[in-house]
Amino acid sequence: MRVQSNPEYCLGCGLCRLYCAAAHDGYDGNLLKAFKRGTPQPRADLIVRNDKSWLNTCRHCHNAPCINACLTGALQKDDQGIVFIDSQRCVGCFTCVMVCPFGHIQPSRDSYRVVKCDLCRDQKGIPACVSFCPNGALSLTEEVETR
């Protein structure tokens, strides 16, 4: 299960990243409070290349290279197949960043750990980015990326 991004309909508006950021780190989806009071961090980057844009989401790979490489065992796969980070255990070594072929995982703002897409597993409903894309460019798909 992962979020698929369609460059045909992606406008590069960035709303997905805003809502992603507000859906994490305790802001509970409150966009206004998140951006007025804090420094929320989106979990995925927008790539703009040759007149096309798309969200560089986590593929939640079947045999994820990041989980294999993680020095501390912080990166794990839950029983829904979602690859997530136990941020208490993350030491910010960036080995996972180095081995993700899609370049999805990013350093946290303070550079002491990493953040990645977790399909909004701590929120109710579908991932925030899919929910708030104004042009239907993002969808939740069941296809699995196998290694």
Partner 1 sequence: MTLSLLTPAFSVGRNEERCIRCGVCVNQCINQVHHLDEDGFMWVTEKNCVGCHRCAVLCPTQALTITRFPLDFRPNQYWSADSLREIYRQAESGGVLLTGMGNPRPYRSYFDHLLLNASQVTNPSIDPLREPMELTTYLGDHSAGLSEAEKPLLKLEIPVMFSAMSYGAVSLNVQKSLARAAREMVTYWNTGEGGLHDEVKEYADCTIVQVASGRFGVSPDYLNNAAAIEIKIGQGAKPGIGGHLPAEKVSPGVAQTRMIPAWSDAISPAPHHDIYSIEDLAQLIETIKVATDFQKPVAVKVAAVHNISAIASGIVRAGADIVAIDGFRGATGAAPLRIRDNIGIPIEMAIAQVDQRLRDEGIRPKASLVSAGGIRNSADVVKILALGADAVYIGTAALVALGCHLCQTCFTGRCNWGIATTDRQLSKRLNPEIGAMRAINLLKAWEHEIKEMMGGMGINAVDSLRGNRLMLKGIGLEQHELDLLGVSPAGA
Partner 2 sequence: MRYVIIGNCIAAAGAVEGIRSYDQKGEITIIDGERRGCYSRPLISYLLAGSKGAAGLHYRSEAFFARNQARVIPARAVRIDPPAGQVELDDGMMIDYDRLLLATGASPLIPELPGIEHPRVKTLYTWKDAEEIAALVETGATAVILGSGLIGLKAAEALHQRGMKVVIVEKQEQILPRLLSPWSATIALRHLQEQGIQVLTGHQAVSISESGEVELDHGAKIPAQLVIVAVGNRPNQSLAREAGLKTGKGIIVNQYLQTSDPDIWAAGDVIETHNILSGAAEVMALLPLAHLEGYLAGCNMAGQAVRYPGAIFLNAVHFMGMHIIAAGEPNRSGTVLQWQQGSSSLEMTIDGDYLLRYIAINLPGITGPLTAIVEQQIRIELKEWQEFIREPSMASLPAAYWAEMRRWEEHGGLRCG
Note whether 7 and 133 are within 8 A (CB): no
CA 46 to chain centre: 11
Closer Cβ to partner 1, 15 or 97, answer by number: 15
Choose the one of partner 2, partner 1, none that binds residue 101, judging by a C-beta under 5 to 8 angstroms depending on kind: partner 2
Burial class (CB in 10 A: 0-12, 13-18, 19+), 123: middle
Q: What is the DSSP string of 42-78?
A: -SSEEEEETTEEEEE-----TT-HHHHH-SSS-EEE-
Please, which of residues 33-62 interact with partner 1 by CB under 8 A? 35-36, 51
Closer Cβ to partner 2, 34 or 95, answer by number: 95
Out of 4, 27, 29, 31, point to the residue binding partner 1 (CB under 8 A).
31
Closer Cβ to partner 1, 36 or 49, answer by number: 36
Q: Which residues contact partner 1 by CB under 8 A?
A: 8-15, 18-19, 31-32, 35-36, 51, 132, 134-137
